[in-house]
A and B are shown apart, each in its own frame.
Chain A
Amino acid sequence: MGYKCTRCKQMVEIDYEYTGIRCPYCGHRILVKERPTTIKRIKAE
């Protein structure tokens, strides 16, 4: 699962056992999940 650091904008792979939720490049702790590029079909209900 790819996440993006909100400070340095780098794509981050999280290693839960070693680093926890933290950017390995800048140490920032707020990471966001990127929206997938596929088309989502949503039923309106």
Chain B
Amino acid sequence: MEVDILELSDRSAKFVLSNVRTAFANSIRRAMISDVPTLAIEYANIYDNTSVIYDEQLALRLSLIPLITDIESYVPQARCPTCGGEGCPVCEVSLSLSAEGPGMVFSRDMISSDPKIQPADGNIPIVDLKKGQKLVLEAIAHMGYGKDSVKWQAGIACGYKNMPIVSIENCDACGKCASECPKGIIHIEESGATISEEDLIKCSICRLCERMCEISAIKVSFNESAFVFTMESDGSYSARDLVLNAAKVIKGRAEELVGILDRL
């Protein structure tokens, strides 16, 4: 297996995963979306709410705020070894919010009981309070999985495509393929059509160029064992940590399977 990183930022990544089967690539994608546990608000104890938003809608809005997650410090509540699911500092974290209008209440106004756990983005608007309106609440965040609710989904816009292969031979430089290409990656030179290595990754394998070529000089196919991955994180993990945690989840499951087979 080989990994070539094309782009890596705090929230997103693009990389080429080579020498793996489609099933493995898809398992990484699925693990990023649904199997990496993250923190999200599960309950809100509302002390006062005189805003225009009713309590249930407010709780829903709070739950969709991504929280920076420390996977080493917290465990999913159902698996908590300390409380067995009752709720304790190992499996839940509390965030309090107290605001009075006039003014917009933002996610950065929430005060966490654990300084490591903060909203991933501080500028998410929660509610606009008018003069005299008050909002006082305590929100309880739990670890959970994206397969249970979208609020626990750390990986967003995770996808992959096969690595494109475009071969050009005996081109007469008519330029029809270049004008038809929706990505604009084919360039016409005196020797014929060319695609640079960087642009090849942008190819969506639509094969419009192949259909337009009257002399069949251009052939488009794809590598079945190489994948161009594109993924984004909601901010609960960095893009790097999200891929790493997804790989750990798959490794953990494989080890679990080996353990079961060993006992047979």
Interface residues of A (CB under 8 A from B): 35, 39-45
B48 A42 Cβ-Cβ under 8 A: no
How many A-B pairs have beta carbons closer than 8 Å: the answer is: 38
CB-based closest 5 A-B pairs: A44-B63, A44-B59, A42-B59, A40-B46, A42-B44
Cα–Cα distance between A45 and B56 once the two chains are bound (Å)? 8
Assess the B46–A44 pair: CB atoms within 8 A: no
A35: chain B residues at CB < 8 Å are: 48-50
Mask of B54-76 contacts with A, CB within 8 angstroms, 1/0 = 01101110110000000000000
The CA-CA distance from A35 to B55 in the complex, in Å, is 11
- Asked if residues B149 and A45 are in contact (CB atoms below 8 Å), the reply is yes
| B44 cross-chain contacts in A, Cβ below 8 A | 41-42, 44
Given A44-B151, A45-B149 in contact, is the A39-B59 Cβ separation under 8 Å? no
Which B residues lie within 8 Å of A39 (CB)? 45-47
Q: Is there contact, CB below 8 Å, between B149 and A42?
A: no
B142 to chain A, nearest CB (A): 10
| B43 located at the interface, meaning its Cβ lies under 8 Å from any Cβ of chain A in the complex | yes
